[in-house]
Each structure stands twice: as C-alpha cells, then as structure tokens.
C-alpha cells in the first residue's frame, strides 16, 4: 500500500468573512505521486498549496501530513522542512540581497553545516543553469531569472515533496525545458499548479481539477 503523505478530510478554507475558497475538500497525496492541479483563476489552487504547509490560519476540517494531524502553526514546522513550496509570485519567495543568500537561507534554517550549504547552493544553481549568479542582486533580476532563483531556493533544501505554483510562468523556452527535464528525472512527490498543459503532461501523470472548492479527478 502506498504511503499517504498528505490527507485532507473535508477541508474548508476561507479568507475572513468571504465565502469558502475550498469547501469540504477531501483528497490524498501519496508518496511518489505526480499530480497536476488545474482549475479556473480563483478556484483555490494556490490556497490549497498554502494550506498544505500551514500558511492558512482559518480552516475547518482535518489535515494530515507526514503521519500526524496538523492544526496549529507549530504543528507545521516539520511539514515545511519536508515539503517545499514554490510561490506563484517570486517576489514572495526572495527577500535577501543576493542570490546565494536566498538559496542558502532554507538549508541554513534546516540546520545544515556551512560546507553542506555551500555545496547545495553551488550544485543547485549549476543544475538550473545559474552558475555565476551567486552575487547577483535579486531585485535587479528579470522576472524569469527571479523565477529560476525561486525554484533554486526550493530545490536546494532537497524536500521530499515539491509543491510548485506556476513554475514555468515567465520562463523562456530553454529554461522551461530545463526545468521539465529536472522534474522528469526526479523521484520526488509532485503537486504542480500550471496553466501550461503541455508542461503538466510531461512532468505529471494524474490531473485534479478544482471546481466549486472541491477536487475532481480527471
């Protein structure tokens, strides 16, 4: 039987007094699964990814992650170490001055020794064709460069699960194909939000559509 990494049981998420974005959503994310998450704008795709790592304070229902039911912010500390979230907007991901500082932030937060962090930064940037970017100023990068550095900040932590929100947005064809090959070769569990159906078809093997706050398996 496949190991269940995330289990949602009638999860309902809302923003303030607004109607629920996710309504009684139940789904499992099992180890090794490669799922594409689709739906119209505002259907709750980004909200779902944020909820999985505990970034949504106001939710009802049950959320199981890595063997435990999670509720309070402290419950999600372990989840954030094991599941890497790529935000839709790279400006939400990057907050240090230089590229190397941003990519090193997560590994240092995990308590890795300095030499391991330096190696992770170097190797991750090389994989993403970003060697030489170490001392570049992040806010001066193009949108596509910021996207690639954001991806680097997630991959550098070597998480078990990749939660990727529009990973190809702003990328040129070459970097889209590079990311595609990296994900195709990865054995990590994937949950990917994207409007690029060709990209999803290449890196995932199952599709879930969010409709009216619930999951529809396609």
Strands 68-70 vs 59-65: parallel, antiparallel or unpaired: antiparallel
**pLDDT band with cut points at 50, 70 and 90 for residue 212:** confident
**131 vs 214, residue with greater confidence:** 131
pLDDT at 57: 79
Number of separate domains in the chain: 1
Domain, as residue range, for 13: 4-217
d(CA 46, CA 16) in angstroms, rounded, equals 17
- Does this model's pTM top 0.85? My answer is yes
Q: Which residues, 6+ apart, have CB-to-CB distance to 176 below 8 Å? A: 168, 196, 199
- Mean pLDDT for 190-202 is 96
Q: What is the pLDDT of residues 105-161, one digit of tens each?
A: 999 999 999 999 999 999 999 999 999 999 999 999 999 999 999 999 999 999 999
Structure tokens at 47: 């909200």
pLDDT at 1: 63
Q: What is the pLDDT of residues 75-89, one digit of tens each?
A: 999 999 999 999 999
What is the H or E stretch that residue 126 is in?
A: helix 114-127
- Mean pLDDT for 188-215 is 94
Report whether 166 contacts 193 (CB < 8 A): yes
Report whether 31 contacts 44 (CB < 8 A): no
What is the H or E stretch that residue 210 is in?
A: strand 206-211
Distances (CA, A) of 200 to 17, 125, 161, 164, 180: 34, 23, 16, 11, 9
Report whether 64 contacts 5 (CB < 8 A): no
pLDDT at 16: 86
Q: Is the pLDDT of residue 8 over 90?
A: yes
The CATH number for 20's domain is: 3.40.50.300
Q: What is the pLDDT of residues 46-77, one digit of tens each?
A: 999 999 999 997 899 999 999 999 999 999 99
d(CA 56, CA 69) in angstroms, rounded, equals 15
d(CA 70, CA 74) in angstroms, rounded, equals 9
């Amino acid at each position: 039987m496949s190991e269940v990494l995330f289990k949602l049981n009638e999860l309902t998420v809302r923003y303030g007094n607004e109607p629920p974005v996710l309504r009684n959503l139940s789904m499992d994310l099992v180890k090794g699964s490669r799922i594409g998450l689709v739906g119209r704008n505002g259907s709750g795709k980004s909200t779902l990814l944020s909820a999985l790592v505990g970034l949504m304070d106001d939710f009802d229902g049950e959320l199981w992650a890595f063997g435990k039911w999670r509720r309070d912010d402290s419950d999600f500390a372990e989840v954030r170490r094991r599941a890497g979230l790529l935000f839709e907007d790279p400006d939400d991901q990057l907050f240090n001055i230089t590229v190397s500082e941003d990519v090193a932030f997560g590994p240092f937060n995990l308590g890795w020794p300095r030499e391991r962090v330096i190696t992770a930064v170097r190797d991750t940037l090389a994989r993403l064709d970003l060697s030489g970017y170490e001392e570049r100023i992040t806010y001066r990068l193009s949108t596509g460069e910021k996207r690639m550095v954001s991806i680097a900040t997630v991959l550098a932590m070597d998480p078990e699960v990749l939660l990727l929100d529009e990973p190809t947005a702003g990328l040129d064809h070459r970097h889209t194909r590079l990311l595609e090959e990296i994900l195709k070769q990865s054995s990590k569990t994937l949950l990917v939000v994207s409007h690029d159906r060709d990209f999803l078809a290449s890196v995932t093997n199952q599709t879930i559509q969010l409709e009216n706050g619930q999951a529809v398996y396609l």
